[in-house]
């Protein structure tokens, strides 16, 4: 059966609590560094419309 997700929050809820916490922290960090980041679900995975380099820089600053 194929899962369909309406948003990133639904996707994160599929993981164990420990992983959810890490994903939420990562997502918050990226959003704090890239104001106005647009997220979407593509190919049943979370994605953004932002440049990968900007996201990697945000992660580096964690």
DSSP E strands: which ranges in 5-56? 39-42, 45-48
Does the pLDDT at position 2 exceed 80? Answer: no
Is the dihedral angle over the CA atoms 37, 53, 30, 24 positive or is it negative?
positive
What's the pTM value of the predicted model, to 2 decimals?
A: 0.75
Confidence band (pLDDT; 50, 70, 90) for 1? Answer: very low
Cβ(43)–Cβ(14) below 8 Å? no
- pLDDT, one tens digit per residue, over 8-60 is 999 999 999 999 999 999 889 888 888 888 888 888 888 888 777 777 777 77
**CA proximity to 48, closest of 6, 8, 3:** 8
What is Dmax (Cα atoms) for the chain? 38
Radius of gyration from C-alpha coordinates of the chain: 12
């Amino acid at each position: 059966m194929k899962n369909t997700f309406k948003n990133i929050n639904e996707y994160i809820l599929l993981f164990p609590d420990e992983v959810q916490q890490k994903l939420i922290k990562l997502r918050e960090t990226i959003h704090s560094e890239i104001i106005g980041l647009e997220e979407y679900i593509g190919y049943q995975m979370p994605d953004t419309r932002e440049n990968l380099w900007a996201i990697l820089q945000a992660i580096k600053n964690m």
